[in-house]
Structure 1
């Protein structure tokens, strides 16, 4: 979209009378049309209030301008006493040398203002860059911390939006924390069911090597008897077999051998007993006692270790512990089997599986578990304090995680702030330099301003307007004061309303060009509210011309290529009226100045006023907008309708009205003459001639159709060619319409009405 240019006042907010928060964003020249009572005077009064409702351009303030409002209050205030009208100081054009110095100083001030605005724009861009950097930083923090935020969701409660999260990260000093420890702490304080747990029990120092009888496992248990039978049994290595058999069958075989059924010797039991002496019996008793003690102790160890699992604190990883306990159980089972085998065969040698190492490893695991249980219990005992600590550590951990991003963002911010500070310093210096230039120009102005030029100019304008009943003159003995004088030399006591309004406007016009003070001639903001009330046509014509001149002075600020008047001292114009004739007089050709001119319609419905900006989609460039004047005559309205129509028959109907009004009623052509000039004298414009092909008469027939209905004689049929009226194309109709103006040498009028620049 094509934007409008901004001037001194960038925004007006209306909150008075029948307006409620109505916002206007004006450009250089602004036309407001509205009926009486719609709210025009309310808008005009806004400029006389303080700056509360006005937003000035960056680096500008109301003190730099004369905001001059022409309205009823202005008339009453300045023409209350016709004999004491305050003089208006105007630059004396004859003092060229001093004026050139003033112009040079003003040009330098303007250049400084442009530099100031350039620096302000640069600051705005760098401020935008800061906002962009912040937005990027917030996004990066949010995305890079996603996994950690999920882990510690409850700890960052209240900061779960990217902007709030990043703001908190910037305020935290990063600290490295072990994430597993932090997860444990977090899991405890935010579980919702935190409680204390008992420590896991250890098995104690159970070492089978220290148990009585263990040493017998590694050596054979045998008798030391030296009887012949004992020696025989030992030679056969049958001691365990004999002992086992005797144990099972003693006293049960009726004196016979249980194997060969032969009668045993009478001293057999004595011989058997002699094979197993007292030491042997003691060893057997010791190994049996070792078995009982080992099984009792180890069963107790296993019960203790397995009991830990069922009573363990939730969250402990017991997988390794359970594996080692099972290994211990398996080793104990094997050892029990080996002890039993030793008892069965005392002469055998047996070794036991190492369980001490497993018990040490299991004990180490229990120590680790108990440490975590202790930490849990300490946390639970002081849950409130630990929760605060957990949140602090989580944020420290997150800040550590994102410290590279924080450092990069802070550096970018610092660099931008340094640049902004430098630009602000330059702006401050430019402001001081511009003030010095302004003061120097003011001193020069004091040498060349006077009030005589204003008196002469107003009197000339009064003469030119046909007013003969009064003129201005300097008041004797009173510096810088005018009098309104009747032809007989007396001070005017009464003026008609029209005369009063007219002289007030002439006074206002010269005030815009000059100043009430000789100290300075400031740039102007011009506000004109319904200036032509009760004026006759002669006064209205002059007022309209003066207003158009002020508009062109303001327009010079936007385009220096073809100045119609000199100067650019008016920086913004606001004109409000209900007078249709005056509005049309001052807005001629202004709508096409889209960038620097705006039209507004003021309406009041149900005692609520609104202001509508009159813009629409451009007919020539659909992607852009164009102004339209809300007040038009019927002929201009026909052209606007023509631009918007999309159907051929409707377009041709409007075309016929335009052609008839302009060429017949305005230009005075006869219908037949018009047809002759267009279709006979300029026939090649409408006929496509292609070598070797039949001429194409489509445009010719279409033009004939458009002109036929304006004939005041018999209708002229187009050379016998048949023509179907409904079959024409809209674009073709519009092209033929343009060619008719070309044929009549009226291209300039066509371009003017279409808003086409040369």
Structure 2
């Protein structure tokens, strides 16, 4: 246990040792702002650290709040929420994560801007490449754009075309682009010429058979093949065997007999030869027509002497062959009608057929050769055109400038991406280091519920968010979390960190130092913090509670005995801070008396609302102290009203008219476990303060003057 702080040199403390009256197990220290109170708290903490290495020491101050609690605003589905982080490691990580995320946001923003710049450079390069491409390929339809939108790939591909072209044509002036229009037109002209191969082997065989048939006479059938076929087809409508009447002439006939006669005639040798000649005639007609389709309408081909000679030789031969074929067809048709008459006519010569086939094949070869020559010529021109395009792209000032910027920006983008990846990995690593605070969160929620604080901690994805206790779906933002609520949330975590099993303060704690536990901006939650302080003061640890608020000081020391507690003031003289003991018995009562006196002296409209909040409890404590000390009346309640009236009736004529009862109602509304639903108005509190001062002044004027003598 620390009895004195020794040789403290820190801010306004200069080699200070004290206080003269040693510290006790439990110590309450008052100090106005600027008198060194917070420096004293740090000095006490360091003294514990130096003197007791085995046991823990806890310090609550503004630095503890900053290091152990962090509130951050986040948006989820466009609904704002406040994330709460507890624990020095978690808070440190969360702050580092926030800094890293801020850096990452800046990087991402810069990365986005750089991507737009890169896109702009790329578009300029691609646009210039397209312009050079269009200007130099002109009407050429065989030269295609390089695929894709990758600028480097396109640029390198066209530069490669220039490199290839200069290998083949090193002396060409690549500042001028040749035209391919004429050669492309010639190639298209050649393609228009349709020369189909002719298969004459079947015709050759056919002519051999026909010549033999033509010179042979066959017995007459007495009926033509056409009539036979017509009758045969007609018999299909007489499938009913019972029918013996012709559907056409209505004469009776024997269907089976007629069908037999027809089949006999159809199977006759003459009929077969006749049928063959009919089929052969159709094939010769088709062959003659095929010969007539040959028409080479190509200026390029016909201007080629070798091709032209072959073509007109073929045309002449085809014309002769077609005339002979026409004569042969007429002869064959006559033979079909008179199969019995032999005809000794010579048909188309096989030599002519072979000559036609050979000439057609020669024309096809000559056409292909000419086409290949023109295609090679086009390839040469295309190589030059692509070389010109590549040359102009490679030597474009605009493209070179934009490509240089593009290269640098891509390098910067790559570095940014690497940095962003590193930061994301750091964030991921820090997030994985987070410690579990679920037990703390559960205990804090129980405390907030017990004291009706309108907030609670809600878990979500391994983190906790603040929400309104009675309306969890309501949006909550940082600006609606008051300074007092922040202080309460931090102190709840500090308090829970002191707890061991069965929610009691841990026994292995050497010292607990608490600097300004109650925020000056938070009156409504002071009851909660005071309750936690009372529990801490019952622990086995040495406790120091420091406050800049006289009101909070009085609340904390109320009912505390000097035998167990040390009451001190941190003050400053000649710019140096010191500690001195405060005598509780007079100081507390006098301070409270002066507070009531000062308020009731004011005009009602000049009093701030927060001044009324603790005034009923302050009046009760002053009145009870006065009664206990002077008249041995311990409680200022309705049960003691008759005794109180007896004491004061000779000094205050208002005692009998009911004002005493109203006064007792007001001062007991927040004390002694009062459960009746009575909420005094500010005017009632103000009137009660005037009533109390008037009553005590009338009862003991000397006492009154003593209490206000130093105001």
TM-score (ref. length: structure 1)? 0.30
Q: TM-score, normalised by structure 2?
A: 0.31
More helix by share: 2
